[in-house]
A = this chain, B = another copy of it.
Amino acid sequence: MTRPGGRSARVRDAVHDAVVELLAAGEIDAAIPKIAERAGVNPTSIYRRWGSREALLLDAAVTRLRSTSPIPDTGSLRGDLLGWAEGVEHAMRDRHGQILLRALVATMGPAEQPVEYLRARGEDLQAALDRAEGRGEPVPTVDEVLDFVLAPLYLRVLFRRPIGPGTAAGLVDRLFTALRAGPAPRAGRGG
């Protein structure tokens, strides 16, 4: 498979592939030399680019999870969010998607740094909300979208509850029902 972006992007993809394959094979603790061997790159390249195994795992999980569920531009906010949520649902039914989400959560470790993952997804969502606002549609906040749609999907995966058919669509419906029900249902702002 040819990938765009030149050598640097190819190395990144190969290393991400190696991480996903090792995680899927149950090698949760694979160290950088082993990842490098599988990716066919020099361990030094990995240390130089990512600095640590944890940073690499986070980057791989964030990049792959984000790419599996882009937010489409369908002309309506409901269409955009439905397309995105069904992409998340689809990714979370896939074993690799589940493994990546679990790795993402587990890897964040005991350090207190904020997490870039939800920030990146938040920016994607904000762009869709801005488009909807420009069309004059009522819009929720990013936090509301995360609470109503993403949190229930992720909780099902993390606690190994099955994601039934139509789950994503039902969650998006709830969000719009809440939007219509009056003053935006605000939970204490999370940041």
The answer to whether A155 touches B159, judged by C-beta atoms less than 8 angstroms apart, is: no
The answer to whether B174 touches A188, judged by C-beta atoms less than 8 angstroms apart, is: no
Least CB distance from A128 to B in Å reads 19
Question: Interface code A154-173, partner B: CB below 8 Å = 1, 0 otherwise?
Answer: 11101111111111111101
CA distance A55 to B88 in the complex (A): 30
CA distance A116 to B20 in the complex (A): 27
A49 interfacial by beta-carbon distance below 8 Å: no
Q: Which of B159, B166, B171, B190 contacts A147 (CB 8 A)?
A: B171
CA distance A106 to B161 in the complex (A): 15
CA distance A108 to B117 in the complex (A): 22
The answer to whether B167 touches A187, judged by C-beta atoms less than 8 angstroms apart, is: yes
Question: Interface code A125-147, partner B: CB below 8 Å = 1, 0 otherwise?
Answer: 00000000000000000000011
The answer to whether A162 touches B191, judged by C-beta atoms less than 8 angstroms apart, is: yes
Chain B residues near A115: list those with CB within 8 A.
159-161
Which of A151, A165, A177, A185 has the largest count of B CB atoms less than 10 A from its CB? A151
The answer to whether A189 touches B160, judged by C-beta atoms less than 8 angstroms apart, is: no
Q: List 10 contacting pairs A-B, 8 Å CB cutoff, sorted by A.
A: A99-B110, A102-B106, A114-B160, A118-B161, A151-B151, A151-B155, A161-B190, A163-B188, A164-B188, A169-B188
